Structure 1
Amino acid sequence: MVADYAIPAAPLELCEEIKKSRFITLIAHAPTVEAAKAWIGEVKRQHPTARHHCWAFVAGAPQDSQVYGFSDDGEPSGTAGKPMLAQLMGAGIGEIAAVVVRYYGGVLLGTGGLVKAYGGGVGTALKRLETRIKRQQTPSLICCDYGDMGGVEALISAHQGQLLAADYGQQVRLQVAWDAAIWSQVDQEMTDRTHGRVSLRPLDG
């Protein structure tokens, strides 16, 4: 199971001038690859006259390489997107996207200068970024009689379960997500409180 990890709590933007070129670094929350690409597209629309819009993202858990992406957007290969991604990976933050917008000032920076400008810009932004912890959740199915609903609802409230779906037929069927760290504890309490009539059934999440 994926451990809890930090994600951006709020977007961030910073600007610096390096040898007459203006570099604007933007960071945002990107829970999916689709969300990351949509945000990158929005940044490009906001800066239509910029020479480059280089980007990188980790659009999921920090160690999930399947949700990595980057682009040099016309800068020499390996001088922009890759060092930006390296900074994101090194920070251990998930669901994060970064764009560095460059307004060219007429002075060439060279390979080393570009790596420092793009990677360094993201590194500086990450030091200022506010984050919050994303808790991993385990979804479960609860089937119970109406007579047990009081105890079930009390446990859901006590352990801050998130109600995903409810079906009130002959029996009550609830889909509830719990903090993964306490799932076993909740299951045991549910069994004890209802004298074995109700337990949690894991759902594929």
Structure 2
Amino acid sequence: MSQSYQALAQPCQFLYEEKRSTFTAVLTPVQSREDALRVLKNIKQALPGASHYCWAYIVGNAAQPKLVAFSDDGEPSGTAGKPILNVLTHRSAGDCMAVVVRTFGGTKLGAGGLVRAYGASVSQALDNAQWREVVPQLSLVVEVPFAFEQKIRLALDGQGAVVDDVEYADGVSLYTTVAYSKYESLQDHIRLLTSGQARVRPLDDK
């Protein structure tokens, strides 16, 4: 979970048609299962009366997701939810809920046709998507003797780490947040600056 990744930044949608059936792909940023279920409920209310509301979501980095789920919502097994999820994964669509609202046009598409239609609707919606970069952060505490406080503050600033809080006791404890990718180099740098007199640890590491 330490690598930066792209995440959906704004909702978007695309209307795909196949043999008079319509497939409206609605993409929405989500960060939890609860977010995804809320989105699904809202879409059902906004677009009532459809034949199927098939969906898939990825929470977190699409390459190493925290959560994934999908549903065929009554379509033949494997023809809707999984193809939607496959497209999201292939396109690295992190923190994304995709709901495809199908209105039946009177002509059956067959399993292969459904897979293509659901996948294509989401893929073309993703062509219009806007993205943001998510840089996972790590909360740290740096414990040092008083004499090193200013040096450590400068070192943290040089890594883009903001000091959130400070405690003074036998020494100084600086609470900060830094990108995961910079943690090891920052740790090494601080130990070098203090000749090994500093302790750098994640806040959840006692």
TM-score by length of 1: 0.82
> Is this contact kept in 2: 1:36–1:59, CA < 8 A?
no
2:105 maps to amino acid: G
Answering whether residue 125 of structure 2 is matched by residue 125 of structure 1, we say: yes
1:59 is aligned to 59
Partner of 1:166: 165
**Inter-partner Cα distance in structure 1 for 2:184 and 2:2:** 16
Determine the C-alpha separation between the residues in 2 that align with 1:193 and 1:42.
Answer: 54
Distance 2:165 2:196 in 1: 21
Map 1:155-194 to 2 at 5 A: 155-162=155-162, 166=165, 168-170=167-169, 171-194=171-194
Q: Which amino acid aligns with 2:165?
A: A
Mean Cα deviation higher: 129-138 or 165-174: 165-174
SS of 2:61's equivalent in the other structure is coil
2:80 aligned partner? 80
Q: Within 2, Cα distance between the matches of 1:2 and 1:195? A: 28
Cα shift at 1:148: 4.1
2:105: which partner in 1?
A: 105
Structure 1 residues 157 and 99, CA gap change in structure 2 (3 angstroms): same
Query: Which residue does 1:141 correspond to in 2?
Result: 141
Contact 1:2–1:61 under 8 Å retained in 2? no
The structural deviation recorded for 1:172 is 4.3
Counterpart of 2:114 in 1: which secondary structure? Answer: helix
Q: What TM-score comes out, normalization by structure 2 length? A: 0.82
**Cα deviation per residue 1:75-112 (whole Å; 9 max; x = unaligned)?**
22221111111111222332222111123333332222
**Does the residue aligned with 2:55 lie in a helix, a strand or coil?**
strand
Cα deviations by residue, 1:32-87 (Å, 9 ceiling, x for unpaired): 23322222222222222222211001212324466221111122222111111111
Do the aligned residues in 2 keep the contact of 1:84 with 1:119 (CA within 8 Å)?
yes
Structure-2 change in CA distance of 1:193 and 1:89 (3 Å): same
Q: Which runs of 5+ in 1 are unaligned?
A: none
Distance 1:42 1:115 in 2: 25
- Contact 1:145–1:172 (CA under 8 A) maintained in structure 2: yes
In the alignment, structure 2 segments of 5+ residues that lack a partner are none
The percent identity for this pair of structures is: 31
Note the aligned Cα RMSD (angstroms): 2.7
CA contact (8 A) 1:138 1:180 kept: yes
Residues 169-178 or 113-122, more deviating? 169-178
Larger % of strand: which?
A: 2
